[in-house]
Structure 1
Amino acid sequence: MTTVTLYHNPRCSKSRQTLALLEAQNVQIDIVEYLKNVPSSDDIRAILAMLAISPRELMRTKETEYKEQNLGDVNLTDEQLINAMINTPKLIERPIAIANGKAAVGRPPENVLAIL
C-alpha cells in the first residue's frame, strides 16, 4: 500500500478536498499539519527538489505577510525565501502530497493522483 505524506491545513478547502480524494484512493496518509509542525529547511529543500521548482514558486505570494516581508524582492536568496517559509509557514503553498519519491501540489486536488 502506498503511503502519502500530506502537508495539510484543515482550514483550507483545497487541502480538505485533497485529503478526501486521497482517502478515496485507499492509501495510507501521514498528515502533517504544517502550521503546527513546521517543516525544516531540509524538508522544504527536498520538496522543492521533488517538485523541481524554486522557493518562490512554493510560496503563497498573495498573502499579506508576503508583501509585508517584501518577499517579492528579486535580490532575495533561496535561503532567505526558505527561512521566510519556516518563520511564516502560512506562506507555504498547500496542500503538498509526497509519495513514491515524488511530490505534487494539490491545486487542483487531482494533481496528487499523478504521484500515486
Structure 2
Amino acid sequence: MTEIIVYHNPACGTSRNVLALIRNAGVEPHVIEYLKTPPARALLAALIARAGMTPRALLREKGTPYHELGLADASLDDDALLDAMMAHPILINRPLVVSPLGVKLCRPSEAVLDLLPEPQQGAFAKEDGERVIDEHGQRVGAP
C-alpha cells in the first residue's frame, strides 16, 4: 500500500482537488488538517528541505496575517519565517503532499500527479469543472 500524507485544509478548493486526485488513484492518504494539528517546527523545516523549497516559498499571503506581520521584508531569515508559520499555521501554503516519490507543494492541484506511484483509475474534473483526467485515466492535454 502506498503511503501518502497530505497537509490539508478542507476549506481550500485546491487542497480538496488534490485529495480527490489521490483517491482517484485508489490511495487513501493520511490526511493531516494542519490548521488543527500543525507539523512540529523540525518536521516542517525537513519537509521544506525535501521539497527543495525555502520557507519563503511555502509562505501563504492571501487570507493570512502575512502583511500585518511584515513578512514581505526580504531581510527576514528562514528561522524568522518558520517561527511565523509555527505561530500562525495559516501561513503554511497548502496542500503539501509527501509520497514515496517526494514532497511537493501541489499548486496547481494536478502537480500531485507527479507524486502518485499509482495510475488514475478513471475520469476526474476539478471542482470548477476543469477536466484533468479522461475516462481512460490519462491526463487531459498531456503530451
What's the TM-score, normalizing by structure 1? 0.94
Q: Which runs of 5+ in 2 are unaligned?
A: 117-143
CA distance in 2: counterparts of 1:102 and 1:95, whole angstroms:
14
- How far the C-alpha of 1:9 sits from its partner, in A, is 0.3
Query: 2:90 maps to what in 1?
Result: 90
Q: Does the residue aligned with 1:38 lie in a helix, a strand or coil?
A: coil
Q: Tell which has more relative contact order, 1 or 2 (C-alpha 8 A, sep 6+).
A: 1
Alignment of 1:34 with 2:34, yes or no, is yes
Distance 1:21 1:50, change over 3 A: same
CA separation of 1:11/1:62 partners in 2, compared to 1, >3 Å: closer, same or farther? closer
TM-aligned CA deviation for residue 101 of structure 1: 5.6
Matched residues in 2 for 1:83 and 1:77: separation?
10
Q: Which SS does the other structure have where 2:30 is aligned?
A: strand
Counterpart of 2:90, as a letter, is K
Q: Tell me if 1:53 matches 2:68.
A: no
RMSD: 1.2
Larger radius of gyration: 2
Q: Say which is worse superposed, 6-15 or 103-112, in terms of deviation.
A: 103-112
1:81 Cα offset (Å) = 0.2
Describe the superposition over 1:71-92 as per-residue Cα deviations: whole angstroms up to 9, x where unpaired.
1111111011001011111111
Q: What amino acid is aligned across from residue 105 of structure 2 in structure 1?
A: V
User: Runs ≥4 in structure 1, deviation > 3 angstroms?
Assistant: none
CA contact under 8 A between 1:9 and 1:35: conserved in structure 2? yes
Per-residue deviation at 1:3? 1.0
**Are the structure 2 counterparts of residues 101 and 40 from structure 1 closer, same or farther at C-alpha, using a change threshold of 3 Å?**
farther
TM-score (norm 2): 0.77
Count of aligned positions: 116
* Alignment gaps of 5+ in structure 1: none
Percent identity, aligned pairs only, is: 40
